[in-house]
Structure 1
Amino acid sequence: MTPFKLTDELLAEIEQLIETQKGPELEYLLGDVHYADIAEIINELNEDEATYLIKLLDSDKTSDVLTELDEDVREAILNNLSSKEIAEELEELDTDDAADIVAELPEEIIQEVISEIEDREHAQDIVDLLRYDENSAGGLMAKELVKVNENWNVLTCVKEMRAQAENVTRVHSIYVVDDEDVLKGRLSLKDLLTTSTTAQIRDVYIPKVDSVNVNEDPEEVAKIMSKYDLEAIPVVDEMGRLVGRITIDDIVDVIKEEADKDYQLAAGISQVVEADDSIWELTRARLPWLFLGLLGGVGAAAIMGGFEEMISKHAILFFFTPLIAAMAGNVGVQSSAIIVQGLANDDLKGSVSNRLFKEMLLALLNGLILAAILLLFTWFWKGDFYTALAISASLVAVIIVAGIIGTFTPLFLNQRGIDPAIATGPFITTSNDIFGILIYFWIAKIILGI
């Protein structure tokens, strides 16, 4: 299968067909195009063109298209659809995707849209999902699943599964519940096929099943599913009753969103933004950390001002200031990045003291190697051993301190329930610049006797 590629020629042809209202030709052109590729096309169209295309195509395809669109594009399209048209799209979607779209609608039309959904059970499931916090397992789950009662026999079980499976896009697991809907275990398809039709489900189901509570954090759900290689995981309420399931495609979205957020935090952007957001939104996201960098620079300049006399006598110290600051920032970011990654993957083992000790040894080794190179270079360049020693010794101390700060800060933030990703990037760089320069000139002053 050849991957879809949106070319300027294809986009121009689609725009021309829309402008001339040639619906049948458009339907034929896009008939075999995947919904994700149609979403890519619509993202490039203007509001009127996008709305025309959504109204033209069948809901069984456009409903999936809506889930793939950029949020601002989807919002614009939904504003141009009637409550009945939106309801028709929602009826084709799984409840989790439908609930996500409903949550984006204005409050005044949500009830109107829900009332237009003909499948009342589907509508009720959507309403149920809207009650959960979007940043929870409940807000992430779908209601569609296959469940059987432990008191049924295999024949009854198969009949019920056939009926339930009609509303489930993909059957990952068969869950077993009791009369109160409490999750008891899971059913192996192999056991079901090889067991007598008169056998009781309670005698053949597997009691061990991983599940998560409706209030569980999505990141924790992602860790569990990743650890145990699960394609889907059941969700239970406080009473242990089965209320939904989370599938791997939803978890991939969570992982991507978290990675985007952490990457932007590490780069000094205080909130998740997109490249096509407004200038004001981008400025508001970037300015806080840039201001922190400005304060750090002013602080470093003030520290250097306190050693003005020493710099005037040993001007070479001034020329190595950028090197010291850069090494401090780089080492700090490296250390914090490893810690943040370990915390995110939940594979950081050992106590904080052991981790700090390990980073100190690592920083000491790296510092000694780099300092030896710098010592020889500076000594041969300027012929002043003590100045070269002052710079090199300062480098070792700066690297050790930067490693400790880069390790301790994300661990400390994580223990306080704060996203440790904010420790990387500008925060660590700025703090290590200040400490690095202070240590640099302080050690140089001691060695040079000034």
Structure 2
Amino acid sequence: MQFQLTTDFLNTIERLIDNKDGKALHELLQDYHFADIAEIIEELNSDEATFLIQSLESDLTGEALMELDDDVREKILSRLSPKEIAEELEELDTDDAADIIAELDDHIQKEVIDEIKDEEHAADIQELLAYDEDTAGALMAKELVQVKETWTVAGCVREMRRQAENVTRVHSIYVTDKEGKLTGRLSLKDLLTAGEKTKISDVFIPKVDYVTVHTDNDEVARIMQKYDLDAIPVVDETGVLVGRITIDDIVDYIKEEADKDYQMAAGISQDVEADDSIWQLTRARLPWLVLGLFGGLGSVYIMQGFEDALSTFPILFFFTPLIAAMAGNVGVQSSAIIVQGLANDNVKGSLFNRLLKEVGLALINGTALGLLVILFGFLVGQDQLVSITIAVSMLSVIIVAALVGTFVPIILDKRGIDPAIATGPFITTSNDIFGIFLFFYIAKLILGF
């Protein structure tokens, strides 16, 4: 049965915490999944959550810490001693432990690592902390099962049993040469059906997908998605096997990136949560609101330049929001498709061919919408020339907005800037300005004011 946190159950936990009854807490929660423990912790205040963690086994609370929101985990860790943090980390895989330590201040990091009793575990964590944040080296875990190609099947099985004690899930068995360089992978079926004295070199599969410690995380995600991998080995510059990245790690990374892109598309420049402080939320939102303000002022300035046109043809004023909205909508649609394609590595071919495609698409959409505007003008008895002016302006605006929405993300991507920035207020504001200018300029050419 799926866990459901009820008010009564939460009240029971809070009462035990108030009574400092750690033994009763341990008996009550020891059989729960770490994700359920994390859900409980999220509902407690920092002091209560800290006491709960101190009362339970580290193999349970360590995993629960990884499930918590970053801000909640930070508050709890600030209340734990370096020794207590080290006890939690000793129960985690190296990649998760490194992620938690990376959130601590530098002097606390050293104290925590010094408190870790398993020297090999501590060394592995320090190694992961040395890699750049967005690379496979920082994302990988050191725990894996590897065998030598010179071993026999019988010796391989014995060694696998020993190694598997430190591995939570065995996704793959990797084969290396005597220097530790990755040479292939081992099928469990082939291992079980081979004779005990058979050499691993006779049964392993030499073809294996891998990444290096410096491979970008986006590229790791692309490779794992393309080849439908549950795990992928990581090698250093010399080809020596140093770790592995599992599907759960890459899913977490993709989710984090998707959250960032979603916020950026909405005009939020920092990674924030709904319960962050007013100051943090203001810093994240205000820059794009300022951009929108200046964009709006720019539109006002453009309209002032065509004041005579508005006096002669006041009806144009009422169609200004329509033109601006169409420009913004088309730009966002085009940029969203391109950004998605860039993320999935699907944007291929020459820019000229993409130019022709976008112009063709914009012509079809613009013509269809322009005809609807002309039909609307006919039904309401609007001047035919005004309707044509609006239709032609809309067609032109749609073409320009589609091109801007297509090429701005591509240019940003080529310059190493996250193209998701182009799906939000940036593209909307710029297309609003272009759209209003084109509207009145074309109206001036057709209506002759």
Pairwise CA distance, 1:347:
1.6
* Corresponding residue of 2:385: 386
* Corresponding residue of 1:395: 394
Within-5 A mapping of 1:167-178:
167-178=166-177
* Corresponding residue of 1:235: 234
Amino acid at match of 1:338: I
Distance 1:35 1:201 in 2: 38
Amino acid at match of 1:270: S
Amino acid at match of 1:73: V
* Corresponding residue of 2:224: 225
User: For residues 82-127 of structure 1, what are the alpha-carbon distances to aligned partners after superposition, in whole Å with 9 as ceiling and x for unaligned?
Assistant: 2222221111111111111122222223222222222221121112
* Corresponding residue of 2:84: 85
Distance 2:35 2:408 in 1: 41
Moved more, 179-188 or 121-130: 121-130
Pairwise CA distance, 1:76:
2.1
Moved more, 242-251 or 190-199: 190-199
Distance 2:323 2:78 in 1: 56
Pairwise CA distance, 1:190:
0.8
Distance 2:382 2:69 in 1: 62
Within-5 A mapping of 1:37-436:
37-436=36-435
Distance 1:334 1:293 in 2: 19
> What secondary structure is seen at the aligned counterpart in 2 of 1:235?
strand
Moved more, 98-107 or 245-254: 98-107
Distance 1:82 1:163 in 2: 32
Q: CA RMSD in A?
A: 1.2
Distance 2:204 2:262 in 1: 43
Q: TM-score, normalised by structure 2?
A: 0.97
Pairwise CA distance, 1:192:
0.8
Moved more, 370-379 or 78-87: 78-87
Pairwise CA distance, 1:355:
1.3
Distance 2:95 2:124 in 1: 9
Distance 1:155 1:31 in 2: 38
Distance 1:331 1:366 in 2: 10
Pairwise CA distance, 1:277:
1.2
> What secondary structure is seen at the aligned counterpart in 2 of 1:320?
helix
Shift of the 316–382 alpha-carbon distance from structure 1 to 2, 3 Å rule, reads farther
Amino acid at match of 2:251: V
* Structure 2 spans left out of the alignment, 5+ residues: none
Pairwise CA distance, 1:21:
2.2
Distance 1:24 1:329 in 2: 60
Pairwise CA distance, 1:59:
1.0
Amino acid at match of 1:277: D
1:7 aligns with 2:11: no
* Structure 1 spans left out of the alignment, 5+ residues: none
Amino acid at match of 2:202: D
Distance 1:35 1:200 in 2: 41
Q: TM-score, normalised by structure 1?
A: 0.97
Distance 1:312 1:4 in 2: 67
Q: Contact between 1:329 and 1:429, CA under 8 Å: does it hold in 2?
A: yes
> What secondary structure is seen at the aligned counterpart in 1 of 2:214?
coil
Q: Contact between 1:394 and 1:440, CA under 8 Å: does it hold in 2?
A: yes
Distance 1:340 1:106 in 2: 35
Amino acid at match of 1:95: T
Distance 2:309 2:79 in 1: 70
Amino acid at match of 2:382: G
Amino acid at match of 1:420: P
Amino acid at match of 1:290: L
Amino acid at match of 1:223: R
Moved more, 59-68 or 376-385: 376-385
User: For residues 185-235 of structure 1, what are the alpha-carbon distances to aligned partners after superposition, in whole Å with 9 as ceiling and x for unaligned?
Assistant: 101111111111111111211111000010111111011101101010000
Amino acid at match of 2:65: L
Distance 1:369 1:212 in 2: 48
Pairwise CA distance, 1:349:
2.6
Q: Contact between 1:352 and 1:411, CA under 8 Å: does it hold in 2?
A: no
Amino acid at match of 1:235: V
Amino acid at match of 1:116: E
Q: Percent identity?
A: 67
User: For residues 239-293 of structure 1, what are the alpha-carbon distances to aligned partners after superposition, in whole Å with 9 as ceiling and x for unaligned?
Assistant: 0110000011100111001101111111111121111111111111111111111
Q: Contact between 1:136 and 1:215, CA under 8 Å: does it hold in 2?
A: yes
Distance 1:382 1:428 in 2: 35
User: For residues 165-199 of structure 1, what are the alpha-carbon distances to aligned partners after superposition, in whole Å with 9 as ceiling and x for unaligned?
Assistant: 11100001110111111111101111111111111
Shift of the 390–115 alpha-carbon distance from structure 1 to 2, 3 Å rule, reads same
Pairwise CA distance, 1:376:
1.7
Distance 1:415 1:129 in 2: 29
Pairwise CA distance, 1:236:
0.5
Moved more, 430-439 or 18-27: 18-27
Distance 2:212 2:273 in 1: 32
